[in-house]
Structure 1
């Protein structure tokens, strides 16, 4: 059995990840559990040769993406671990093959915002990228926009639609997200997707893009909407935090904080939803984001909800 055989098997089984570590049995994540292929061990040479065939070299660093076929892409993360070389292969299925999103109408409504900032938050592996690309897919199907995506790495490629989609990858096409956002502003964009808000410079560039009439979509690794505000503002020194709170309160359209919920037979995505209102902007501006859950509880008629409300009846 080869690594390609394992990938083909994993796709048939609808696995999300393949774990390869030299000297250890190959493991697949199917649903919420790891399944071991006890009778197949990967060697360092096998793994190295396969990675080279995917375009890996010392310059590509510890992550790369590859195309498996016309529909499926692979995101590969590499590292040295105790006992040898390790790689995780995340299988990126086409959006059309994934289960319907329970918040499809909400995602479509947010995608139609003419400007501002929308953040998708949550832990690794909870589907943040998929949610962003569902929004991009809707725009591609229904609008004639110029959409620029800044990714690390490129994960999803859409079929041609009504929009022009310019996809750029970190280390291949640009050296920093903040630099790439500044470049994008000179390329007549309608929408800018930033794979992840990693530093103050990127956040600054995103705020500027949102303030100048563009829709900006991005992600943060926080578990709630309130934490996202605190994390965003906390990336700045104290002398700038009042300014950032004001700017953020003026451009923020929504925060969706999501997690993958494990059930008996499968997993599902549940989301906390914070939407822009005058009261929400006021709490952000005055540093009272700890009060946001109360507003979200009372904002059900507008589509807002807390994570506790989202989980009700889903477990």
Structure 2
């Protein structure tokens, strides 16, 4: 028992250590000496920008050729001043060559590509795309330390599901809402507390996990290690993993592969871009043909463990605060999903709340809690709500609507 406690304690210490990934080796583009020097200078300037943004807690950088860099911090855009904040087409082209290791036509066939880059101090996800302005890019800073699930506010009911042997957990929300970070926290929990085989396929790989104890982690990146998600999931099923992480449910083929994995003895954690639980279910099922949908609906109703929808809203401290909507599947929800009655899910959640057996909760319930805790204002909550009239009633009932200076 002492040995086990010592091992688990060492796991926690190991997992808290920052994970730094060195940048890829310089790529020799076929050009003359001066151009190679210019490329090196461009990459050095980019690394300096990334390090500066990391130090300033900037979340995103938007870069267009020959225009000042825009930095996003706590949801607010700020434009760089001076020539050091301007990059050329040649600079962006050099970054793309370096990030894709000289791969021919890296923006084809979709017109955009996502990559991961590192400076030695910070790691970023970069999205390059063709546009009217030329090739533009957005960089998102990735935390250097993999966060604990508690630290990023993943509800306990979601955390408790990672011990399950099989099933599907879907993290929903817009780009930049913290879905990948939440999953990283869950994988850290599995890595720290269990000895399991974890198979991760993403586009790109953002957080790099160090194995703890007997845990085995495979991390693959679309484009570099696998051609697409369905192909990678097929390989995963041959590798006997306990947990499969799928970066995004991009299309019906990926959704079908994820559902198959979840119904054949694997815990599958993935992301999509819906704004509510109902939208998430409609989007998942709607990818399939009318003939396929009844079977998909039945399999999804049985394999789904939970859906968590997350959005970031402005907090009173000037930062961003996550508001969430959570569905934890049960027999009632299973029947509603199977019988094509997803529109009744909200009423079922409210009914469970009244009955005192709530495990799921709506976005409005989360917003109400954040207002009550003083983390966000009433105005912010009302603007973020999907059902503002319902939220208004709850705020008034709690004595918060008038208290915060809004007309009753």
User: Structure 2-normalised TM-score?
Assistant: 0.73
Offset from partner CA, 1:66-110 (integer Å, 9 cap, x none): 12226x321111123223331111111134468922335233212
Q: Within 5 A, what are the aligned runs for 1:1-315?
A: 2-39=45-82, 40-54=85-99, 55=101, 57-61=103-107, 62-69=113-120, 72-96=122-146, 100-162=151-213, 163-264=215-316, 265-300=318-353, 301-312=357-368, 313=371, 314-315=376-377
Report SS of the residue matched to 1:25.
coil
Q: Report the counterpart of residue 31 of structure 2 in structure 1.
A: none
Report SS of the residue matched to 1:238.
coil
Report SS of the residue matched to 1:102.
coil
Offset from partner CA, 1:202-254 (integer Å, 9 cap, x none): 12211111111110111111101111111111111111211111111110000
| Number of positions where the alignment pairs a residue of Structure 1 with one of Structure 2 | 314
Note if contact 1:23-1:83 (Cα within 8 Å) is conserved in structure 2.
no
Give me the whole-angstrom Cα distance separating, in 2, the residues matched to 1:239 and 1:83. Answer: 43
Report SS of the residue matched to 2:225.
coil
Highest Rg: 1 or 2?
2
Report SS of the residue matched to 1:120.
strand
Report SS of the residue matched to 2:66.
coil
Give me the whole-angstrom Cα distance separating, in 2, the residues matched to 1:145 and 1:46. Answer: 43
Note if contact 1:259-1:270 (Cα within 8 Å) is conserved in structure 2.
yes
Residues 194 and 84 (structure 1), Cα distance of their counterparts in 2 relative to 1, 3 Å cut: same
Note if contact 1:122-1:221 (Cα within 8 Å) is conserved in structure 2.
yes
- Which structure exhibits the higher relative contact order, with contacts defined as CA atoms closer than 8 Å and separated by 6 or more residues? 1
Deviates more, 1:234-243 or 1:295-304: 295-304
Note if contact 2:165-2:266 (Cα within 8 Å) is conserved in structure 1.
yes
Residues 56 and 258 (structure 1), Cα distance of their counterparts in 2 relative to 1, 3 Å cut: farther
Whichever structure has more strand as a proportion of its residues is 1
Report SS of the residue matched to 2:322.
strand
Offset from partner CA, 1:13-67 (integer Å, 9 cap, x none): 0111111111100111111011111212112222323333333543543221112
Residues 59 and 137 (structure 1), Cα distance of their counterparts in 2 relative to 1, 3 Å cut: farther
Give me the whole-angstrom Cα distance separating, in 2, the residues matched to 1:249 and 1:175. Answer: 30
User: Structure 1-normalised TM-score?
Assistant: 0.94
Report SS of the residue matched to 1:74.
strand
1:9 CA drift (Å): 1.0
Runs of 4+ in 1 over 6 A off after TM superposition: none
Offset from partner CA, 1:157-207 (integer Å, 9 cap, x none): 023313211001111111121121111111010010111111212122111
Note if contact 2:202-2:222 (Cα within 8 Å) is conserved in structure 1.
yes
Give me the whole-angstrom Cα distance separating, in 2, the residues matched to 1:59 and 1:65. Answer: 17
Deviates more, 1:277-286 or 1:17-26: 17-26
Note if contact 1:75-1:153 (Cα within 8 Å) is conserved in structure 2.
yes
Deviates more, 1:206-215 or 1:274-283: 206-215
Any unmatched runs of 5+ in structure 1? none
Offset from partner CA, 1:96-148 (integer Å, 9 cap, x none): 46892233523321212221001011111111111111111100000110000
